[in-house]
Structure 1
Amino acid sequence: MGAFDRMVPRRAFAGVPVSVLSWLMARNLPLTATPARRAEDRVPGNIRVTDDVFAACIEPAIAVNPVDPRNLLAVCRVFVGPDIGVAAYTSFDGGDTWRARGLLPGLVPDFDGNPSVAFDSRGRAFLCCVVATQGPLRHGDVLMWRTDDGGRGFRPSTTAIAGGPGLVDHPSLTIGTGSRPAATHLYLAAGVYGTADDGVVVARSTDGGRTFQPPRGLDPAAGARAIAPVTAAGPNGSLTVAYVTPSPSGDVLLKAVTSGDHGETFTEPFTLAEVPAMAPGLGDVTAKSGPALAASADGGLICAVVTGFDDATGMSRLLLTTSAGPAALAPTWSGPMTVAAGDETVYLQPQVAIADDNRIAISVYSLSLATLRMDVLLHISDPVRAAPAQPAFGPPLRVTTQAFDPRRAIDTGSTHWLGNYQGMAAAPGHVFHPIWTDTRTGRAQLFTAAVRRHRP
């Protein structure tokens, strides 16, 4: 995603706030901190997920067991000396307490990461990540694990997408169901680079993740310029894959393809939104942004989210586009609506989830340019009765009980790396579980919260 991120002029996170203040004053922007909480906000407690032997934890993914919604499974990248592995964490009380499960079985840390996790309708969880080697000729495959007991133990891994001489990057896992549990399909979107067929691909499993069919390219014309795929499935064969590519003018296009027949055929790629850039460069802090995607359980609502940053104005935006399902085609998508915008804040790394009453929740990092501190905000809509639509959002809820300094993220020697995405999941009963990387302890660790919103 680095090719699409632009540096903010005269602003750097080198530990000297005066550079930021001078940039703000040059643009006559107000120097304000994160707004105080409103009395009517239901502020969730922050729960620390990770507190074990690893030097840092970044890039989390989280899933809720539909058979037992108190069972949450989280997975993330972990730093083991100079190497990076992937570890799992479980909760069986709705996220109030967490237990470390260690590195994924058989995984030897090297340059692994980009985990993704999903439960099927039977309560089985599937977890995948990139297993990659370091060095100038980096290559890696996507491996898949399965757990039948909520994350207490995992079956041996299988190869879902082989990179061969190249690298498989940014896998995104989703699970779709038909009218019978036996109709469960697993879909895995990813980017493949360093091969003759670079670009965004999707691979499908029809046997419970034991094997995956060969990956198929979704946008050959974009090739290796297509990156950061995300995917979401609804019932009875509906599937959407979104990703970003550069436009001829140098802007960033959020594009998508859809399928209504379990991934047998796909639409031609179409554009959902166009932004100048997804995020500014942040000097010696790396916190890039990508798109997010979610589908409702009944397939009647699909949401795509992306951040946009305009270098000319300093304006940062959080954008949402929605579609009717289950086999959504390009004409049914709404134009992107602005959920939040400001020139005092930079929005980064959005995630989206849909509750069982069709409330849309969007979590996002909010970086104050005045204080250089980050918060996690949660924007929750009213129930969406029809799509495509322009959902109504109230004021955001500040989820973090304490803002944190991203400059305290893990120091890799070339950057302070906060990770390139965060996670969120929805649970029955209108509960959202954002999970994020946070440095309030002095090092990058994972925190989460259970945010409950009741029916009106």
Structure 2
Amino acid sequence: MADRKVPDEPPMTLHRQLATLLAELLLCATLCGQGSASPAQPELIQVGPNILVSRDGDLPHVELMVAANPRNPKQLVGAAITATQPAGGWACKTYASLDGGSVWLDTTIPEQVEWGGGDPQVAFTDDGAALFANLTDARDEKGHMTVSVNVYRSEDGGRNWSRPVVAAAHADHPQIAVDYSGGPHRGRIYIAYLHGYPEYQVSVVHSDDGGRSFSAPAPAASGKGVIGINVTSIHVLSDGTLVVPYQDFDFHQHATPPKEATSNLWVATSQDGGETYSQPVKVAGMQERLQPALGGFAMLAADTSAGANRDHIYAAWSDYSSGQGRVMFTSSADRGHTWQPPRVLDGSGPAGSVQYQVQVAVNKDGVLGVSWFDTRAARDVAHYDEYFAASLDGGASFLKPVRVSSATSEMFGAGNMQIRPTTWHFEQAVRISFTSPATRWRAGGDYMGLAADAEGVFHLLWADSRSGTFQMWTAPVTVSRVAAGEQLREAASRRSDVTEKIEIITDPAHYDPATRELSMPVRLKNMTGEPLYPPIRVTATKFGSGEGEVWRDYAPEILNAGNGKTGPGAEFTFDNALGGLRSLAPEAITGPVTIRLKISDPEKIPDMHLKVTAASTPK
């Protein structure tokens, strides 16, 4: 049948204008949360497909971090702790995407494989080089084991890394930030870290040559041996002011460890490039849950856009003051000197649900994004999903939170409960620690990843255990303010064969020898150079290998085609695999659609031939 041209849309009449306005208001009522910013201006959060990042086996991946290149929106770099040592010990790996988060390439760091490590951090320099920093075990010149902050630099977006530079010795919990401001220290790289037990000190080193060398440390804060402190996410304001937040905690030993503890969040600032620091300012008090440990650090973000909230600083954390874990939020409009009283960011969760593992970021337009783990849609607190909320008015109000993860995670899944013995040296002895991801990193680590790219898209990277093992998953989230009529209008397009311009990607498949059933998650990557619109269909045209029809008689039976066919002509729709998006952008990738096959003979499986069709905008 010939393609039918969609007629041009007639001019909008007054009746249609009123209908469109009503649709916009209804959409806003659906999407805007309590205390929404502007009921006359609809806001929209669009969640893209969930993408599996870690394709390196059923190894747990925890404590994730992600960064976006300020000069190239297609370049992202991530990192995680995983079991990469030959004996099963914990070390860090990096992951790089050159297409905006659709496809990721992993890199193993030799020093990590040899010595192990943790606390991964990633960033990009002002000129677009990727940076990876982490803790690395090593022996000092006297042969003693020590822990240092190693920094690596990559000129190709994170695929290959330089030899490491030691930024700080005898350190813990490094945090990295880069000065993108117009201030006198533009391009400076800062690393804050914890050291000096039992005094508990936070110091900062910096680099002015792109991470090739680092300064001597400058003290930023101290617990003075009275109370423990630990640094959290550092940031640089638009004039180059460095903001160093930290939490305090009781480090004394207790016969019976408490289930909850009170902590305080503080900030110290430096206006001379990290040389000296102000007296700390208290941001807020926090009530933490220690048993079970579901929380994560308080996280901060700074608005460095040219908008009305420039240099506003935002902080969010999981707090148990009400008896339930809820995301608390506060902000400062005067560069950290004073702070608003903390308030619950989202109170819509049911009683008994928990919100934890909070991350914060601000995009180029001043949109504030907050992500967290949430148990509201799960049967208990051991199951969770990734959620996201956004504010368009500097945190005065937030849009209704949206669920980002397409499947619920299981904290105590089989892979997360796998005990992994780890050997290490301490106090002139060799120890073996018996840890599993669920016992050591019950919340998936100290932090997850949230970054905004140069086009304003948020990229979430979280420890997802839908498979029973913590894996790295990501999803793009776009926050926009658009007219509903424009957003929902069907694209004037025609359906065509795009098979030659589509890359088919498979997630890890599962084969059951007992039933001879193969479950194969399939994704589509758009290589056409233009957006593709529904209907997006994948059709099995035939089975056969080689030049002819080799093994044709052993063709598998297709078990779950949308049109019910079990052989050639079986069709699968990918419309719902777009997540919350209405088109598949160039170089973007869909969510997975699982194709289930009944294998006739596992030793003779013919190739499956596929055709892909989609609607594209008119030439």
TM-score tier after normalising by the smaller chain length: 0.7 to 0.9
* 436, 444, 448: which one aligns with 2:470: 444
CA deviations 1:156-214 (Å, max 9, x no partner) are 11000111xxxx2111100014548984111111111447x532221122222222222
Per the alignment, do residues 41 and 288 of structure 1 end up closer, same or farther by CA in structure 2, a change over 3 Å counting? closer
Q: Corresponding residue for 1:348?
A: 356
Structure 2 Cα separation of the partners of residues 38 and 237 of structure 1: 36
Query: TM-score scaled to structure 2, two decimals?
Result: 0.60
Matched, 1:225 2:228: yes
User: Does residue 273 of the first structure (1) align with residue 284 of the second (2)?
Assistant: yes
**RMSD across aligned positions (CA):** 2.8
Alignment partner, residue 241 of structure 2: 238
Match of 1:379 in 2: 389
1:74 to 2:98 alignment: no
SS in 2 for 1:123: coil
Deviations 1:7-36 (A, max 9, x none): xxxxxxxxxxxxxxxxxxxxxxxxxxxxxx
Amino acid paired to 2:152 = W
The residue type equivalent to 1:171 in the other structure is: P
Given that 1:144 and 1:158 are in contact with CA atoms closer than 8 Å, whether structure 2 keeps it comes out as yes
C-alpha contact (below 8 Å) 2:218/2:274 kept by paired residues: no
**Distance 1:324-1:205 versus aligned 2 partners, 3 A rule:** farther
Match of 1:42 among 46, 51, 74: 46
Supply the AA of the counterpart residue of 1:245. D
Q: How many residues align?
A: 398
Q: Secondary structure at the match of 2:316?
A: strand
Q: Is 1:360 matched with 2:368?
A: yes
Q: 1:109 to 1:43 in 2, by over 3 A?
A: same
Equivalent in the alignment of 1:94: 100
Q: Considering only CA atoms, is the larger Rg found in Structure 1 or Structure 2?
A: 2
Matching residue of 1:56? 60
**Residue 56 of structure 1 contacts residue 410 of structure 1 at CA under 8 Å; is this kept in 2?**
no
User: Per the alignment, in what secondary structure is the counterpart of residue 450 of structure 1?
Assistant: strand
**Alignment partners' CA distance in 2, 1:404 and 1:107:** 28
Paired with 1:175 and 1:41, the residues of 2 have a C-alpha distance of 28
Q: 1:318 aligns with which of 312, 317, 327?
A: 327
Contact 1:86–1:109, Cα closer than 8 Å, also in 2: no
5+ long unaligned stretches in structure 1: 1-36, 385-389
- Counterpart Cα distance in 2 of 1:138 and 1:351: 33
- Letter in structure 2 aligned against 1:446: M
Greater shift after overlay, 205-214 or 67-76? 205-214
| Cα separation, 1, equivalents of 2:316 and 2:224 | 21
Of structures 1 and 2, the one scoring higher in RCO (CA 8 A, sep 6+) is: 1
Q: Distance in 2 between matches of 1:398 and 1:121?
A: 33
In structure 2, relative to structure 1, the CA distance for the partners of 1:402 and 1:392 (3 Å cut) is same
1:200 equivalent to 2:202? Answer: yes
Report the Cα distance in structure 2 between the residues aligned to 1:243 and 1:52, rounded to whole angstroms.
34
Whole-angstrom CA distance in 1 between matches of 2:113 and 2:196: 23
Q: Separation in 2 of the partners of 1:250 and 1:432? A: 33
| Cα distance change, pair 366–117 in 1 and its aligned pair in 2 (3 A) | same
2:458 is aligned with 1:432? yes
Which range is displaced more, 207-216 or 435-444?
207-216
1:106–1:156 CA contact under 8 A, matched in 2: no
* 3-state DSSP of counterpart to 2:469: coil
SS at match of 1:42: strand
> How far, CA to CA, are the matches of 2:383 and 2:205 in structure 1?
39
- Distance change >3 Å, CA 87–CA 295, structure 1 → 2: same
When residues 363 and 110 of structure 1 are mapped into structure 2, their CA distance, relative to the original with a 3 A threshold, is same
**Gap runs ≥5 in structure 2:** 1-29, 33-43, 252-259, 420-433, 483-619
Q: 1:107-145: per-residue Cα shift (whole Å, max 9, x none)?
A: 3354411111111221111110001369xx974110000
Displacement of 1:355: 1.3
Distance 1:247 1:272, change over 3 A: farther
Give the whole-Å Cα distance in 1 for the aligned partners of 2:264 and 2:320: 13
Any conservation in 2 of the 1:112–1:133 contact (CA below 8 Å)?
no
Cα distance, 1:138–1:443 mapped onto 2, change above 3 Å: farther
1:415-435: per-residue Cα shift (whole Å, max 9, x none)?
513322111101133311010
Please tell me whether the aligned partners of residues 313 and 336 of structure 2 are also in contact (alpha carbons under 8 angstroms). Answer: no
C-alpha distance in structure 1 between counterparts of 2:336 and 2:479, whole Å: 31
Cα contact 2:45–2:477 (8 A) shared by 1: no
What is the alpha-carbon distance in structure 2 between the residues aligned to residue 48 and residue 288 of structure 1? 24
User: Deviation of residue 363 (structure 1)?
Assistant: 0.6
**CA apart distance, 1:314:** 2.4
The C-alpha deviation readout for 1:336-373, integer Å capped at 9, x for no partner, is 23202454221211110001111111110113474331
Residues in 2 aligned to 1:133 and 1:155: alpha-carbon distance in whole angstroms: 18
Q: Distance in 2 between matches of 1:263 and 1:182?
A: 10
CA contact (8 A) 1:280 1:309 kept: no
The normalised TM-score by structure 1 is 0.80
- Partners in 2 of 1:72 and 1:453 — Cα distance? 19
- Matches of residues 24-423 of structure 1 in structure 2 within 5 Å? 42-53=46-57, 55-80=59-84, 81-101=87-107, 103-132=108-137, 139-163=146-170, 168-179=171-182, 183-194=186-197, 198-223=200-225, 225-246=228-249, 251-277=262-288, 279-282=289-292, 287-298=294-305, 300-310=311-321, 314-324=323-333, 328-331=335-338, 333-341=339-347, 343-368=351-376, 370-371=379-380, 372-384=382-394, 390-408=395-413, 409=416, 411-412=418-419, 413-415=434-436, 416=438, 417=441, 418-423=444-449
Write the distance in 1 (CA, Å) between the matches of 2:62 and 2:168: 23
Take 1:254 and 1:132, find their aligned partners in 2: how far apart are those partners?
A: 29
CA drift of 1:93 comes to 1.2
**What is the SS of the residue equivalent to 1:378?**
strand
**Is this contact kept in 2: 1:247–1:253, CA < 8 A?**
no
The answer as to whether partners of 2:412 and 2:468 remain within 8 angstroms in 1 is no
**8 A Cα contact 2:265 2:282, kept in partner:** yes
Deviation at 1:264, TM superposition (A): 2.5
Q: 1:171 to 1:273 in 2, by over 3 A?
A: same
> 2:31 touches 2:400 (CA, 8 Å); kept in 1?
no
Aligned to 2:481: 455
Deviation string for 1:256-285 (max 9, x for gaps)? 1112222222111121111221x3522xxx
In 1, the alpha carbon distance for the partners of 2:268 and 2:58 equals 38
